[in-house]
Each structure stands twice: as C-alpha cells, then as structure tokens.
Amino acid sequence: SVYAAISVVAEIMKVNHAVEIIETQGMESLRKYMERLEHEAYSKSGSKASKRLAEDLYMRQAIHRIKDTDTEHPKLEMVRNIVSRQIAGRPESRVIVFTNYRDTADMVTASLEAMEDIHPVRFVGQSSKYKDKGLTQKQQVQIIEDFKKGVYNVLVATSVAEEGLDIPSTDLVVFYEPIPSEIRSIQRKGRTARKHAGRVVVLVTKGTRDEGYYWSSLSKERRMQSNMKELQEIMPANATTLEQYVQPQVEKDQKNLSEFGNEGIRVVIDHREVRSQVARELEKLGMDIDVKTLEVGDYVISERIAIERKSAEDFVSSLLNNTLFEQISNISRSYQKPVLLIEGEGLFSARQINPRSIHGTLASIGIDFGVSIFYTRDAEDSAMLIQTLAKREQSDEQREIKVHGKKASQMLSEQQEYIVSAINDIGPKAAKTLLKHFGSVENVMKAEYEELIKVQNIGPKTASRIREVVSGDYKG
C-alpha cells in the first residue's frame, strides 16, 4: 500500500541520515542519533520505520559496535588544532565554530573544553527534544554578552547564529561541514572580518557528501557574485553605489505587488510574535504589519478571524500544562471564525503522549469550540496561509480588521479552588469537596484534623498535609 511504501522510505531516510553522520560528523554524534532512534522506537508514539530499524539484526550489531568504539572523526582533531593556533597567536581572539547538528555542537564543545586557554560555549536554538535541551531567549542573550566580554572565546553554534543576533565580529569562523546554501554560507562568513582581517576555514571530508555540498555552495556563490558584477556594470552614472540602484528597483517591484492583489493587505501581530520567522516571511510577502499587544490570538486578519499559531511541540506542551483549552476558549468566544494553525511535524512524537489524546483534543477544538484547524510545514508555509486568509477576508470579502476579545478572568469559585488545590496531595476534585463542606477557603484552612477527616474522600494523609501546610513554621 501507499502507507507501507511511505514507511519504507522513512526507514531509508533514517539510515541515510546515519550514514551522513558517520561520514561527516563523528562517532559521538552517531551514538546520540542511534540512542534517540531507539528511544523513539520503544516509545508509544514511535513510528513503524524506527521500530523496524531498532529490531533489525544488522542495525542492532551496528549499534553495539558504535557503543564500544572510541574512534574520533579526523575533523575533531582539526578543529582543536585550528582553534588552538588562533588563540595561541592572538589570545584576545573570538572564534565561531558552526555545525549543522546539535549533537556535533555538544561533541565539539566538550572536546575544546579540555584545552588550555580555550573557553567554549554551546549556542543552539530554543526547541528541546529527548536528551537535547534548547536555550531560552534569555540564555541566548546572556551567552552573547559573555562572548563579547571574553568569558567565552569560542562559540560552538548551529544555524541559530547565522542571522538576526547581535554577535560581535570574530577573528575566525570554522565550518565543521560545508553547507549547500550560498545564502547561509555567506551569512556565516559574514560573522568575521567586519572591522579587521578575519579568516574562514571550511572542513571537508574527502569522498563524502561534504565535497558535493562544498562545490555546490561555491558554484552558487560565484554565480551570485557574477550577477552582482553585471548589476554594477549596468548601473546608471548617477548611482554611486549598488544600493542606490537596487533599492528603487525593489520599491518598483513592491508597487507591482498590486497585480497579485496583495497591496493594502494588513495583519495585526501580537508583539511576542514579531521575532518569529513567520513575521519575517509575512514582510517578505509584502504585507502591512501592525504590531500590537493582543490578549487573544497571535494574528488578527479581519473583524471575525483571529489565528492562534502553535508549533507541533508547543501544541503538545500547552495541552500538558493545561493552557491550551483556555487559549482556545478565549479565541472562540472573541471571534466568529477562530483559527488554530499547527506548524511543523512531530505532533504525535513531540512527547510521550497517547495519540488518542491528541485526536480527542483536536476533535474537541474543532467540534466543541468550532475552531478551524490548519496544518503547515514551516514558517514560510504559515505566512503564505495567513496571507491567503487575509486576502480572502480583506480584498474579496471587504472585511476590516478589528481587534477585540480579552482573556477570561477566573471566577471567584475557580480562584478559591485554585488556592486549596495548590496544597500537595489535593486535586481539583478534593478542593471542590472541601469548599462545599466548609463553605470558604478560610474555613478549610481553620479546620482541625478531626474535622477534615470527616469530609468525604479526605483521608488521614490529606488531612495531615493540610494541617502541616497551614500551621507549620515557615523555614524558607
């Protein structure tokens, strides 16, 4: 069947990725990848492809051999030598080592930590997965500040450091592996040689896909430089810089967006979403961005449509911490046609949660709350969907944008239940029982042990815990 074929393709892709890691990264990265593969295989949400791989005899043998070997990839020694020579020659140097994978960033950081005068730090994105915790935005900012001050002199970073962050100019940029994208390659190289001469080193493992990526990127960069040279040659005499010539062309093209019906299409974005890639993609599409503090939703595109955007992992996290339905309730109460946008993959594998729970939640959101659910691949896809919906509302239906709706404040009874249930061993149900019996939070707190155990379903352990919390001495 088609599904069986897709599953086999997924299996092949996993094996292919493992081969790429061993060729271009190192044993430690491969070990961690195999560990995650095993974890996925034996979890409730594990795919059939990962389970078949984990049970395959040859794969089991490979995993066993990987665990027993201590061979390093030659690149690791090269990184140590290159960085060591740079720091020894110029102790005040700042260095960035770029890697495509977090596991490799961990490996390189650990390897450099053992060397004298080298103070490395791992710098990755915010998302987290099994045994791979991301950095919060606050932690990222602090690391950059420490890097500027010299607390760290080597930043071992993934693609998160390529753009959008105020990283100081460095003396050396090392590519642990080449990347096929000329834009990303130029962005990485641009992290050095801003104020003084800098150096870029690209590590390539001969006979592997590293070589293909390297020559692909180099060819694209040369083609880009050739195009830029042609632009310079055709610049009018009164344009002293390329920017003066290109900018009017860009503005002209932006005006021509009206041919596609995008002129005047506006979206209101919550201020917390401004830093997201979706906001950047919306700007690229030529939409008018209006930033406000939204109490309900992340994007508002008309008087009747607001959009709550969540990555697949955020969706599951908000379900587990009991905030999802509050957000859905707020948006469905405030807007006539509320939308939930779920971005990215991993909805059923982000956490160890029963798929039936996900299906039940989605069913409730769609049927009970009347919220339309859309799925997108990535930020670019999300932006295109938002643009399509906004155009339909504002251009086709002639609807104006109107922001409304506030978060529902908790009723007094909910606040009272929250206070009582905050005590360990007391759940929401027990809190309601206690409040119904005693009539108020104050009476619950004043009740003696003998009175508490008379309440239905309140046992000696719970009664003792309440008295301990209420009357015990504070030892903070």
Nearby residues of 26 by Cβ (< 8 Å), 6 or more positions away: 72, 73, 75, 76, 104, 107
Contacts of 422 (CB under 8 A, 6+ apart): none
412-471, CATH topology level:
DNA polymerase; domain 1 (1.10.150)
* pLDDT tens-digit series, residues 86-99: 999 989 989 999 99
Query: Which residues in the chain are classed under CATH 1.20.1320.20?
Result: 2-68
Look up residue 24 and give its two tokens: 């271009």
Which pLDDT band holds residue 243 (cuts at 50, 70, 90)? low
Torsion of CA 322, 328, 329, 330, to 10 degrees: 110
pLDDT digits (tens, 9 = 90+) for 344-373: 988 887 667 788 888 889 999 999 889 999
Quick one: which of 243, 261, 338 has its CA closest to 298? 338
Average pLDDT over residues 452-464: 89
Amino acid occupying residue 216: S
- At residue 71, the pLDDT reads 79
Scanning 392-452, the segments in alpha helix (DSSP H) are: 412-421, 428-438, 441-446, 449-452
For the chain, give every residue range classified as CATH 3.40.50.10130: 258-396
> CA 330 to CA 332: how far, in whole Å?
6
DSSP letters spanning 287-335: PEEEEE--SS-SEE-SSS-EEEEEEHHHHHHHHHTT-HHHHHHHHHHH-
Q: How far apart are CA 378 and CA 315, in angstroms?
A: 15
pLDDT at 339 over 80: yes
Among 308, 290, 288, smallest CA distance to 298 is for 308
The whole-number pLDDT of residue 257 equals: 36
Closest CA to 409 of 335, 356, 333, 321: 333
* 348 neighbors 354 (Cβ within 8 angstroms): no
User: Contact, 308 vs 298, CB < 8 A?
Assistant: yes
The whole-angstrom separation of Cα 12 and Cα 6 is 10
Calculate the alpha carbon distances from 438 to 419, 446, 451, 462 in Å: 14, 10, 10, 16
Average pLDDT, integer, range 460-470: 88
Q: Which CATH number fits domain 74-213: 3.40.190.10, 3.40.50.2300, 3.20.20.70, 3.40.50.300?
A: 3.40.50.300
Q: How many CA atoms lie within 13 A of 312 on its CB side?
A: 17
pLDDT at residue 137 greater than cutoff 80: yes
Residues 429, 433, 434, 435: is their CA dihedral positive or negative? Answer: positive
Name the one residue in this structure whose structure tokens are 């390189």. Answer: 108
Torsion sign over Cα 354, 355, 356, 359: positive
404-436 pLDDT tens trace: 877 655 556 767 777 787 786 677 788 888 999
Q: Model confidence at 166, in pLDDT bands (50, 70, 90)? A: low
Q: Which helix (H) or strand (E) holds 50?
A: helix 48-55
Domain 2-68 has CATH 3.40.50.10190: no
Q: When comparing pLDDT for 306 and 272, which is higher?
A: 306
Token pair in block for residue 39: 């974890």
The hierarchical CATH code for the domain 258-396 is 3.40.50.10130
CB-based burial, 309-343: b 16+ in 10 Å, e otherwise? bbbbbbbbbbbeeeebbebbbbbbebbebbbbbbb
The residue ranking higher by pLDDT, 17 or 453, is 453
- Residues near 400 by beta carbon (within 8 Å), at least 6 away in sequence: 302, 303, 394
What is d(CA 388, CA 252) in angstroms, rounded to the nearest whole number? 23
Kindly report, as residue ranges, where domains of CATH 3.40.50.300 are found in the chain: 74-213
pTM, 2 dp: 0.47
* Cβ(415)–Cβ(282) below 8 Å: no
Q: Which tokens hold the place of 392? A: 């339909």
**CA-closest candidate to residue 232, choices 245, 249, 220:** 245
Question: Are 75 and 69 in contact, with CB atoms under 8 Å apart?
Answer: no
Task: Read off the tokens for 328.
Answer: 């859905």
pLDDT mean across residues, the chain: 82
Residue 268 clears pLDDT 90, i.e. is over it: yes
Between strands 266-270 and 288-292, the pairing is parallel
Portions of the chain given CATH number 1.10.150.20: 412-471
Q: Which of 138, 144, 84 is nearest to 113 (CA)?
A: 84
Confidence at residue 263, expressed as pLDDT on a 0 to 100 scale? 58
Cα–Cα dist 422/442, whole Å: 14
Task: Return all residues near 330 (Cβ < 8 A) that are at least 6 apart.
Answer: 295, 296, 405, 406, 407, 408
Q: How far is CA 291 from the centre of its chain?
A: 22
Residue 259 CB partners (closer than 8 Å, separation 6+): none
Q: What is residue 2's predicted lDDT score, i.e. its pLDDT?
A: 67
